[in-house]
Amino acid sequence: MNLFTKFAKDESGATAIEYGLIAALMAVVVIAAIGFLGQPLQDAFSGIGDTLTANTPGSDASPTPTPTPDPE
């Protein structure tokens, strides 16, 4: 009976389970936020990247043309 009462009073397992549930809930929230905000964030960063590329001195936003061989 002593082992059973000792086991019933031990709360270390309950604390670990609580931390596990909190971590799982946080993971669900992060995944939902990424799913909800994923495309708008991608569009925003793509726009920022395009603006930086277009306004960088010495670079143009168009790709470099491939050179044509000289006819002999």
pLDDT digits 0-9 by tens, 30-70? 999 988 888 888 899 999 998 888 877 765 555 555 667 77
What's the predicted TM-score (pTM) here?
0.46
Looking up tokens 């604390």, which residue turns up?
A: 15
| Structure confidence at residue 64 (pLDDT) | 57
Q: What is the DSSP letter of 57?
A: T
Q: Quick check: 59 and 53 in contact, CB under 8 A?
A: yes
**Tokens describing residue 38:** 């994923």
Q: What is the DSSP letter of 63?
A: P
Q: Quick check: 22 and 30 in contact, CB under 8 A?
A: no
pLDDT at 14 over 70: yes
